[in-house]
């Protein structure tokens, strides 16, 4: 007697993500990148550093960990690599995107007088500082036409304090032949409301600049929830 027919090999289902990359690229090309939800935008970027496999869960994990695309790009390499699946290459690619955004913003601010491109300035400092995990104090140095000479981080601090030395700020302003400055620092808590210590420090810097004829145009406090202007709040 003939033996029983051999069992057919079980059909292996193809991974659900096969072809997904091509479909996503096609949708982006046809509908524009702006039409994509945040996680798919991150997916497209992660394709570069992770050439195989399904990166949708990783994109969603990054958004769950940091809260927004801006926060993902603003995170430090160490923070990015703390998310399972993010290696050195992916972390570097994400930081490249952040640096590119910073340079575009800096170009927009630097091409004309800062006080006439205020919205671009606010967008730039928010991109640069809103998601910093530690408090950072930076100074924008301006010439007589209120054009940007330099944008420098003067100090880093802890989650709620960055030491500021008025004489150091003015010494650097004199070195750069700056006629005016704008102070900027961030609140890692997310709330940009100035503290009493912020107000006191600003007054000290204004007083230090007065005999040198170096004006302090404003002090901006940057947080994830927005940006506060000392001048707009009547604090200087």
If you count DSSP H runs as helices and E runs as strands, how many of each does the chain have, helices first?
Answer: 9, 5
Q: Cα separation of 236 and 231, whole Å?
A: 6
CATH among 2.30.30, 1.10.150, 3.30.70, 1.10.20 for 20-102: 1.10.150
pTM: 0.72
Model pLDDT, residue 5 = 57
CA angle 7, 13, 15 (to 5 degrees): 155
DSSP 31-76: H-GGGS-HHHHHHHHHHHH--SS--HHHHHHHHHHHSSHHHHHHS-
Model pLDDT, residue 1 = 47
Q: Cα separation of 126 and 140, whole Å?
A: 14
- Per-residue burial over 206-235, b if 16 or more Cβ lie within 10 Å, else e, is bebbeeeebbbbbbbbbbbeebbbbeeeee
CATH 3.40.140.10 residue ranges in the chain? Answer: 113-229
pLDDT tens, per residue, the chain with 236 residues = 455 555 555 555 555 556 788 888 888 888 788 888 999 999 988 988 888 888 999 999 999 999 889 889 988 899 999 999 999 999 999 999 998 888 888 787 766 677 677 888 898 899 888 888 889 999 999 999 999 999 999 887 655 566 788 999 999 999 999 999 999 999 998 899 999 999 999 999 999 999 999 999 999 999 988 999 999 999 98
CATH of region 113-229: 3.40.140.10
Model pLDDT, residue 8 = 58
Model pLDDT, residue 48 = 84
* Closest among 181, 202, 74 to 129, alpha carbons compared: 74
Q: Residue 31's CB: how many other CB atoms inside 10 A? A: 10
CATH 1.10.150 residue ranges in the chain? Answer: 20-102
Q: Cα separation of 38 and 59, whole Å?
A: 9
Under DSSP, is residue 193 helix (H, G, I), strand (E, B) or coil?
Answer: coil
């Amino acid at each position: 007697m003939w033996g029983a027919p051999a069992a057919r090999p079980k059909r292996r289902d193809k991974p659900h993500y096969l072809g997904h990359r091509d479909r996503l690229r096609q949708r982006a090309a046809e509908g524009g990148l702006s039409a994509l939800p945040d996680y798919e935008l991150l997916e497209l970027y992660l394709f570069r550093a992770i050439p195989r496999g399904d990166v949708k869960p990783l994109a969603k994990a990054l958004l769950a960990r940091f809260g927004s695309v801006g926060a993902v790009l603003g995170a430090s390499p160490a923070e990015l690599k703390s998310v399972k699946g993010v290696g050195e290459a992916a972390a570097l690619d994400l930081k490249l995107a952040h640096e590119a955004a910073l340079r575009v913003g800096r170009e927009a601010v630097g091409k004309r007088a800062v006080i006439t491109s205020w919205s671009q300035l606010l967008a730039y400092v928010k991109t640069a500082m809103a998601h910093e995990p530690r408090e950072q104090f930076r100074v924008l140095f301006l010439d007589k036409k209120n054009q940007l000479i330099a944008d420098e981080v003067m100090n880093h601090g802890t989650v709620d304090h960055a030491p500021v030395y008025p004489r150091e700020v003015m010494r650097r302003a004199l070195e750069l032949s700056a006629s005016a400055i704008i102070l900027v620092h961030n609140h890692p808590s997310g709330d940009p409301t100035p503290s009493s210590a912020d107000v006191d420090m600003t007054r000290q810097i204004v007083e230090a600049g007065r005999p040198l004829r170096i004006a302090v145009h404003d002090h901006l406090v940057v947080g994830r929830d927005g940006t506060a202007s000392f001048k707009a709040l009547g604090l200087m």
